Amino acid sequence: MGWRLGVVGPLPMRCWDGDYVVYNPLSGNTHVFDIVTGEVLKVIMTGNVAAAEICQRIAAFLEVPNDVGIADHVGRILVALDRLALIEPAAGC
């Protein structure tokens, strides 16, 4: 299963010392995220991405093995971002 942004175009975003502040033009809401969540969003901002690839990129970013722990963590982040309407499932990826 793949993911893409819920809106077209880059999200207005600030990165301050590891905190991400993100504006969602669709909902009008602003969110403050930790660094890993911010990184997941940045990966998805590059286009449609498969969940497996997101895990791989996050593992590389954190310099840890891409194991079930990462998959679990990333999975939870994706659910949260989907709930906030920042991302949505993308077909054919």
Partner 1 sequence: MKSAFVQDRFLALLRDPSGTLELDLRFWNDFLVLARRSGLLARFGMQLGDRSLLDRIPGKARDHIRAAFIEVESSQTAVRFECNRVLHALGTRSPPLILLKGAAYLLAGLPLSRGRYIGDLDFMVSREKIDELERTLIEKGWAPTEMDEYDQRYYREWTHEIPPLLHPERETLLDIHHTIAPLTSKVQPDAGALVAAAVPLHDPRLRVLAPADMVLHSAVHLFNDEVGKPLRDLFDLHDLLGHFGARPGFWSELNDRARMHRLGRPFYYALRYTQRLLGTAIPPAVLIDAAVWAPPRLLRPMMDWIFEQRFLPELPEEPRTGAAFARWLYYVRTHWLRMPPQLLARHLTIKAARRVRERFTLKSKDGSA
Partner 2 sequence: MLIGDIPREALARRLRSDGVHLVTGAFTIHVRASLSRFVDDFAEMYEHYPFEDPAGIDDAGVRVSAHSLIGRFITAKAKAEVNGEITFGPVPLHRAFTTFETAMNWSVAMSDVAPMFLHAAVLERDGLAMLMPADTGSGKSTLSAALSWRGWRLLSDEMAIFSFADGSMRPNPRPVSLKNNAIGVIAAFEPRATISRVYSGTPKGDIAYMKAPVEAVARFQEGAIPRWVVAPCYVAGAPARVVALDRAEGFQLLTDNAVNYSSMLQTGFELLTGVVERCGIYRLTYSNLDEAIGLLDRLHDGSDGAGSSA
Interface with partner 2 by CB under 8 A: which residues? 12, 14, 16-17, 19, 21, 23, 25, 28-30, 32
Which of 21, 48, 53, 88 is in the footprint of partner 1 by CB under 8 A? Answer: 88
Tell me: does residue 30 bind partner 1 (CB under 8 A): no
Q: In the complex with partner 1, which residue's Cβ is closer, 53 or 88?
A: 88
Tell me: does residue 80 bind partner 1 (CB under 8 A): no
Task: Give the per-residue SS3 of the chain.
Answer: CEEEECCCCCCCEEEECCEEEEECCCCCCEEEECHHHHHHHHHHHCCCEEHHHHHHHHHHHHCCCCCHHHHHHHHHHHHHHHHCCCEEEECCC
Q: Which stretch binds partner 1 (CB under 8 A): 23-31, 32-40, 49-57, 63-71?
A: 23-31
From first CA to last CA, the distance across the chain in angstroms is 6
Task: State the binding partner of 46 from partner 1, partner 2, none, CB within 5 to 8 A by kind.
Answer: none
